[in-house]
Amino acid sequence: MTGGGLLVAGTTSDAGKSVVTAGICRWLVRQGVKVAPFKAQNMSLNSFVTKEGAEIGRAQAMQAQACRIEPSALMNPVLLKPGGERSSQVVLLGRPVGEMSARGYHGGRQQRLLGTVVDCLAELRGTYDAVICEGAGSPAEINLRRTDIVNMGLARSARLPVLVVGDIDRGGVFASFFGTVALLSPEDQELVAGFLVNKFRGDVSLLEPGLDMLRRLTGRRTYGVLPFRHGLGIDEEDGLRVSLRGTVRESNVSPPVGEDVLRVAVCAIPLMSNFTDVDALAAEPGVVVRFVDRPEELADADLVVVPGTRGTVRALEWLRERGLADALARRAAEGRPVLGICGGFQILGEHIEDDVESRRGRVDGLGLLPVRVRFAPEKTLTRPAGEALGERVEGYEIHHGVATVTGGEPFLDGCRAGSVWGTHWHGSLESDGFRRAFLREVAAAAGRRFVPAPDTSFAALREEQLDRLGDLIEQHADTDALWRLVESGAPPGLPFVPPGAPA
């Protein structure tokens, strides 16, 4: 028997598809439904490694957590990792299969992957009671419809009902809903069941006349109006969508336990990947995390993090061009804490030999750690575990660079030299005991009277966040109607909204 399904599409990128999908998943699992997430094709520099060693988007890993199941490659069969403005690494079923330009991908490769995508979805639907699928961008991107495998192309192939999410906080939500339907072909429109308003502020009764008019215009109902709530985003897919200058990672509102706060500056390097590593720091009471791109912004930082990147050599050059490389060297000489993670770890080393990613050959690093890096064609995808600072640590690795450590003190798989730490392990700061021990070291080196909270559980905070998403769906959406969509598909006889897709 095949389980039910639903495709959550959006009027735009960042309309809230990932959050709504996670919310529906958490609501369903609380009703005793065996549910799984799915995204056919994801473009993201934030990724995760499953237990079987497959790389998938972090959003799908979080949605799997919302379903209370282990993530797998089936949930995100195609992952695109941008390496520049016009090319991406293609990860198929968790493994990289090469670099491809956008023109080459949309020119034929993407359509050939539709069979793989549909097979993965069918396998999930054969295992679970329901599969909640997430679209990408907008289903009305008419220039890409012919090769689409993630929005209406997937919906048509798998006969999925489609729920369109719109972010009313941006404005223009009614035009976006109407235009999305009106730019689809009659066959695609048959599957668009209705709408969900996201991020509404104010009195819902003032919105209702517009929703009534929208229903008369399109013949489709609105399945819910979700109120605006701070702090409900799950791991971003496409990077930070705002200017990084002065951007503060949303932090725990609890006051610090000690007398001081701890200030963390994250270098906003090009092609920054897995910047979600610092979420666990921001979850600590009294830790303030911000992204920076100027050397003077490091002056008052107690810890500077150089995060992962899909362009290590490019990021290294950027740090030098901006004067941040010199600022990092001064910090190290003064004994002020610096942490490099993955690509950031590689940047802090002595030199990099890269004939894979940038193809620039040998490039001098910042020389702050006794490490030499050689890029290998094969990507390392593992879930390591170990000990550091007397605490158990778990993480995950996603990198082409192979590091040879020639000195310093061991630190996870990397090393420490004075106040400079480096590791390939993403996610290590989510280990509560280790994070607290690390922050104590940072505070001591920075001369801050900061004390980590003794009881912060990052996993528990994640669970609370997912439950809040489930609450949003349960309290503000027509859940009976949503379940009918999942179980039975789009209502029959939905009217055509002209003009439809251009020929």
- Residue 342 a catalytic site member: yes
With 0-12 CB in 10 A as exposed, 13-18 as middle and 19+ as buried, what is 230? exposed
Residue 102 CB neighbour total at 10 angstroms: 15
Cβ–Cβ < 8 Å for 266, 308? no
Q: What is the 3-state secondary structure (H, E, C) of 28-66?
A: HHHCCCCEEEECCEEECCCEEECCCCCEEEHHHHHHHHH
Angle in degrees, CA 440, 442, 446, rounded to 5:
120
Q: Which amino acid is at 99?
A: E
Residue 399 per-residue DSSP state: E
Give the sheet arrangement for strand 287-292, strand by strand. 248-249, 287-292, 262-267, 303-306, 338-341, 420-423, 414-417, 409-411
- Residue 267 a catalytic site member: no
Residue 197 per-residue DSSP state: E
Query: Cα 229 to the chain's mean position, in Å?
Result: 19
Query: Phi/psi class of residue 236: alpha, beta or left (left: φ > 0; alpha: ψ in -120 to 50)?
Result: beta
What dihedral angle (degrees, nearest 10) is formed by the CA atoms of 483, 484, 489, 493? -140
Whether the link from the prior residue into 499 is cis, omega within 30° of 0, is yes
Q: Which amino acid is at 286?
A: G
CA pair distance 388, 416, nearest whole angstrom: 11
Q: What is the 3-state secondary structure (H, E, C) of 75-143?
A: HCCEEEEECCCCEEEEEECCEEEEEEEHHHHHHHHHHHCHHHHHHHHHHHHHHCCEEEEECCCCCCCCC
Q: What is the 3-state secondary structure (H, E, C) of 310-367?
A: CCHHHHHHHHHHHCHHHHHHHHHHCCCCEEEECHHHHHCCCEEEECCCCCCEEEECCC
Q: Which residue in the list 67, 267, 342, 415 is annotated as catalytic?
A: 342
Q: Which residue in the list 399, 424, 426, 476 is annotated as catalytic?
A: 426
Phi, psi of 16 (to 5 degrees): 115, 20
**What would the two tokens of residue 60 be?**
């799908």
Angle in degrees, CA 261, 267, 273, rounded to 5:
115
CA pair distance 453, 254, nearest whole angstrom: 10
CA pair distance 185, 499, nearest whole angstrom: 9
Cβ neighbours of residue 109 closer than 8 Å, sequence gap 6 or more: 90, 100
CA pair distance 6, 299, nearest whole angstrom: 49
Residues designated as active site: 342, 426
